[in-house]
Structure 1
């Protein structure tokens, strides 16, 4: 016997909490629920543990990894060279998609529930060479004029973005007027880089070795997302021998606070002045927690279907259902509630790769980070002075 609830796939695909515990509850009340066999009712009311252990906990881990990697990849450092100072803007995207999950509980089953994670964070970036800041001239000054401080670059980043304002909300309304989005993302932090091996240039711009630099940072990110999906259309619903529809709205309230301490080593090469490639590797310690409240409640309309009765019930039980009960539509309410609190993963190891295109005082940078199964890309532009 299978329980197929299409909207549950949508609702649970929105869940993103780091590894931890969650509480889920699915309840059915009203005359529509009264036509369900007792075994279906009891299983439906106690399916929460199966949803948590077989599905929700796995999705929590998936989303946690995406949130942490987007926090790490937020400084747009490129190969790690700053002559005087730089300012810029960047946008970080992180995500992963794992194999769909099937949840089985007694005679109920949820088929191919999505296991995905995603995170987004814009940032304003400032980078300063400490030797230049202390009055020692740019980092590409004559070797005899350089000081030890020229080996240090300080990267600062931060941004506060409100979902309910500006172009994002307008674009969302243009795509789907049933979706209301609120909340904000706040991020900030710094990275101090030290050139273990200084960069080398041929002096004419045909070739430059970026040296080898090590960076230690402290990155903070807080997400607060409020989403309401007012579904004017009803979803098809099958509960054992009963077939019908489910309407209502889905409410999603999520907050997450992550602090990461990344340590990485990177190097790179610039060719013909315009094109730079860079790569590296690192690890990060992470701290933080997340909270989620997700609910969907709405009216259901159910009726016993002769074909569904034959397919889902044994002949003995099906014979006990009077033919007069078949096809009679009953109404009720189906409610799903999910809440949880969890901690961020302790450590994340990652690889770095990217390209940078130089055009006069502008640097266009694409910086990618891969950590286990998570991929993150930060794209942005910096202006150098």
Structure 2
């Protein structure tokens, strides 16, 4: 739940203050004159093309990359089975952008996307599942002819190990489904945090891996953990329906005027991300405690994004920016209580809804670490996706 709260905080600071389909009414809007008022009323289409569509793509890429790391595979080698859970998060940053339409100018709009995918995961070795015994042995010996042996159950002598193809196959699966109201996070939510609304996250995925080179034992200090290849499919869904009633002030330039716009903001966001992956992983273990692993792979991403924003509130304009100083400290509820003063200022209402479908392929590198404490594994992975930002996950497993 802590990570869902972080995501919502990030959205609250994402700067989505100006939308499309703008309508300006009231005395102040009338003083703009027909030409400038026409610019404001036509601003919606320009805002959508110059900013909102870009933001939709940025958020779609971030959501896709978070989905990429949601499988929680780690090294990709199992002895019997494992269960656990974790969370994958991604940041994709394209910097800032501006919207310019004739003499109307909106500057420094952030173009950053965030994605978070929690998951409960599990994996099983196919050989163990089909009653062929565990796949790995703590101590492996090899005679002069290359025959492989393991210790018997009592550890008194070694017995031959028959090659078994099933032990080289590991199957992983993960999934999650959760939703609720932001008010459920009161214990984590700061008192000044003005976001309210509903959220829902769900997803699932499977991964099939084949062990090309089995793990070996060189010494107590160093152990090669094998080489595996895998293919997988991940899918994640996220829905947010939020409103921000915290004070929210936007600066806008309209011809010779500097304006302050104070209002409440609403946001609806739907993400549907699908990822197909192929990768190769290998690693080594030190002192039976620390495992380091890495690899390379390729992902085919397909993502649908629906993004809807709205904001409505009083607009104050002046040729002297100092006249707007005090309005920067007032939220929309204060203006509503002022009655006639609010009516003299005018109301600016903007809203828009955009849809984007993004299909792309990308190579990636993997680096990760596991801390092994008996059957407990604490792991973290990072995916280098080639975009500005990255994808990381963190979780805990019980491996047997």
For residue 273 of structure 2, the aligned residue among 251, 258, 272 is 258
Query: What displacement does 1:129 show?
Result: 0.7
Q: Normalised by the size of structure 1, how large is the TM-score?
A: 0.83
1:226-265 paired onto structure 2 within 5 Å: 226-232=241-247, 239-242=254-257, 245-265=260-280
141-150 or 31-40, which moves further after superposition? 141-150
SS in 1 for 2:57: helix
Distance in 1, Cα, partners of 2:14 & 2:34: 26
Alpha-carbon contact 1:90-1:124 (below 8 Å) kept: yes
Q: What is residue 225 of structure 1 aligned with on the other side? A: 240
Alpha-carbon contact 2:182-2:197 (below 8 Å) kept: no
Query: What displacement does 1:329 show?
Result: 8.4
Q: What is residue 21 of structure 2 aligned with on the other side? A: 25
Cα shift readout 1:235-260 (whole Å, capped 9, x = no counterpart): 66654444564333211111111121
SS in 2 for 1:344: strand
Q: What is residue 45 of structure 1 aligned with on the other side? A: 41
Number of aligned positions between the proteins: 350
Matched, 1:353 2:367: yes
Query: What displacement does 1:274 show?
Result: 1.0
Matched, 1:381 2:391: no
Alpha-carbon contact 1:253-1:292 (below 8 Å) kept: yes
SS in 2 for 1:292: strand
Q: What is residue 173 of structure 2 aligned with on the other side? A: 156
Alpha-carbon contact 1:303-1:329 (below 8 Å) kept: no
Alpha-carbon contact 1:136-1:145 (below 8 Å) kept: no
Q: Which ranges in structure 2 are unaligned for 5 or more consecutive residues?
A: 1-10, 138-149, 151-159, 324-340
Q: What is residue 293 of structure 2 aligned with on the other side? A: 278
Q: What is residue 64 of structure 1 aligned with on the other side? A: 60
Alpha-carbon contact 2:56-2:305 (below 8 Å) kept: no
Matched, 1:287 2:283: no
Matched, 1:183 2:183: no
Distance in 1, Cα, partners of 2:106 & 2:378: 45
1:1-150 paired onto structure 2 within 5 Å: 13=15, 24-141=20-137, 142=150, 144-150=161-167
144-153 or 216-225, which moves further after superposition? 144-153
Q: CA RMSD in A?
A: 2.8
Query: What displacement does 1:210 show?
Result: 2.1
Query: What displacement does 1:207 show?
Result: 1.8
Q: What is residue 282 of structure 2 aligned with on the other side? A: 267
Query: What displacement does 1:59 show?
Result: 2.0
SS in 2 for 1:42: helix
Query: What displacement does 1:175 show?
Result: 3.9
Distance in 2, Cα, partners of 1:336 & 1:292: 14
Structure 1 residues 371, 168: CA separation in 2 closer, same or farther (over 3 Å shift)? farther
Moved beyond 6 Å, runs of 4+: 9-12
Q: What is residue 337 of structure 2 aligned with on the other side? A: none
Alpha-carbon contact 2:206-2:234 (below 8 Å) kept: yes
Alpha-carbon contact 1:258-1:344 (below 8 Å) kept: no
Distance in 1, Cα, partners of 2:321 & 2:301: 53
Query: What displacement does 1:50 show?
Result: 3.0
Cα shift readout 1:213-272 (whole Å, capped 9, x = no counterpart): 111111110101111111356666654444564333211111111121111111111111
SS in 1 for 2:49: helix
Alpha-carbon contact 2:371-2:378 (below 8 Å) kept: yes
Alpha-carbon contact 1:94-1:120 (below 8 Å) kept: yes
Distance in 2, Cα, partners of 1:286 & 1:328: 48
Query: What displacement does 1:340 show?
Result: 1.1
Q: What is residue 347 of structure 2 aligned with on the other side? A: 333
SS in 2 for 1:330: helix
Q: Normalised by the size of structure 2, how large is the TM-score?
A: 0.80
Q: What is residue 377 of structure 2 aligned with on the other side? A: 363
Alpha-carbon contact 1:241-1:308 (below 8 Å) kept: no
Alpha-carbon contact 2:21-2:352 (below 8 Å) kept: yes
Distance in 2, Cα, partners of 1:13 & 1:119: 17
Structure 1 residues 257, 366: CA separation in 2 closer, same or farther (over 3 Å shift)? same
Query: What displacement does 1:14 show?
Result: 5.1
Matched, 1:343 2:343: no
Query: What displacement does 1:146 show?
Result: 4.1
For residue 230 of structure 2, the aligned residue among 215, 238, 257 is 215
